[in-house]
Each structure stands twice: as C-alpha cells, then as structure tokens.
Amino acid sequence: MRGEDAKGLLGGDMAFILRPFPKIALAYIFYLPDEDFSASVTCLFSANADHFMPVDGLADTVEQTLKIIISML
C-alpha cells in the first residue's frame, strides 16, 4: 500500500498516508490517550477519491486497511 510517514504534514501523535489504489490516498491521524481524552483515529480521503470509487467502496477500503493496521500492532 506504499505507506509514508506524515506526522509533520498532518499532526497528531502519529500519522501516515496509505495509497491502497493508484489515485486514492488515505491519511490516518492517531491521537494517543491522555488524562482528558481517550485515544482516537481520524481517516481522511484524498479530495478526488469519490471520482474513482463509490463512497461505500471507500468505507470498505478503510475498514480493511484498519484491520491490517490492527493486526500489525
């Protein structure tokens, strides 16, 4: 999926960009828990993603990539 570090670009405690398809990028921004907030993850699609795939297909892609990320942890 050709992942690349993007913490400096996107912020968060950890961030990276995956490219599961040639013209679609997914950006994951991770925030670790602290005393005020629980851990969270935000996934952003590239602005052109809906031109190449229906939104429900994009949601399935996010679900599958998250399963892979969790299995790697």
Number of helical (H) and strand (E) elements in the chain, helices listed first: 3, 4
Q: What is the 3-state secondary structure (H, E, C) of 32-47?
A: CCCCCCCCEEEEEECC
What is the spatial distance between Cα 39 and Cα 25, in angstroms, rounded to a whole number?
A: 23
pLDDT, one tens digit per residue, over 9-68 is 788 898 989 988 888 889 999 999 999 999 998 999 888 898 999 999 999 998 998 888
The answer to whether residue 2 scores a pLDDT higher than 70 is no
Q: What pTM did the predictor assign?
A: 0.78
State the pLDDT at residue 46. 87
Report the Cα–Cα distance between both ends of the chain, in Å, rounded.
17
Boundaries of every domain in the chain: 4-72
60 Cβ contact list (under 8 Å, min separation 6): none
